[in-house]
Amino acid sequence: MDLKDKIMVITGASSGIGRATARRLNQAGVKFVLNARSKDKLEDLAAELDSAVCVVGDMIDPETPQQILDKAFSEFGRVDIVFNNAGVMQIGTIDEADIELLCEMVRLNFESVVRMSYLALRPMKKQGSGFLINSSSLAGLKAFPEIGAYNGTKFAVEALTDSLRMELAGTGVKVTAIEPGRTKTELFNHWPEEKKFKPENGLIEADDIARCLEFILVQPQEVLIPRLLVVPARQER
């Protein structure tokens, strides 16, 4: 795919992998519809980019995905790429975990992905082209203690993504999952200090994921990378 002048939606764009992706793909000539909850951070990022509009909103709100797509069509007339990136990671043992926060995470990490995926893929299928990238994780491939609900959301994203990929084979629309390992983002800021990943044990930068995402997108039309796992070279598990 030639990325110049492609219209890309990024959810959770104000920090981490979403922000890094916008900055990197801006150099390739992509135009953006950016979403996040933080108005100030989102507008600061948009000001850095050559062509970007913002939709401030929480992806947990069922109305937000349609609002984002409406903005894309009103400003640019189409959507070429959707990156379902917004997400959180709640941790805790069975005894410690806040069940309401876990359920809120399920709504953001999976329900919002379902809504945005189906809403975006319908016009993409009609136009005969498009690319959906869902943010999964190493935790969508193997389970870890104390993140059972998070594991569940990412396993669900893997299944959804693969099913949609098969359904849309031959339509000109591609669907894939990016699966980051330990990445230096704000996702872990709220974790207890003793549980945070340490750089000496292996951490990659958000831009490392953005570079891999660009690699997925620029493949020829007849080539699809259905999933891409990206981990630090020093990550043991």
The CATH number for 117's domain is 3.40.50.720
Q: Using CA atoms, how far apart are residues 197 and 94, in angstroms rounded to an integer?
A: 21
Q: How many domains does the chain have?
A: 1
In a domain, 237, yes or no: no
| pLDDT on residue 235 | 75
| 118 assigned to active site | no
- Chain segment 124-172, per-residue pLDDT in tens: 999 999 999 999 999 999 999 999 999 999 999 999 999 999 999 999 9
User: Is 51 domain-assigned?
Assistant: yes
Q: Which of 121, 150, 203, 209 is catalytic?
A: 150
Domain annotation covers residue 2: no
Residue 142 placed within a domain:
yes
Kindly state whether residue 236 falls inside one of the protein's structural domains: no
pLDDT at 184: 83
Q: Examine residue 206 and state whether it is found in any structural domain, yes or no.
A: yes
* Tens-place pLDDT, residues 181-200: 988 877 655 555 555 555 55
Question: Per-residue pLDDT tens for 94-128?
Answer: 999 999 999 999 999 999 999 999 999 999 999 99
> Could you tell me the residue range of the domain that residue 112 belongs to?
7-230
- The verdict on residue 1 lying in a domain is no
With a cut of 80, say whether residue 6 has pLDDT above it. Answer: yes
Given a cut of 90, is residue 234 above it in pLDDT? no
Instruction: Answer yes or no: is 235 within a domain.
Output: no
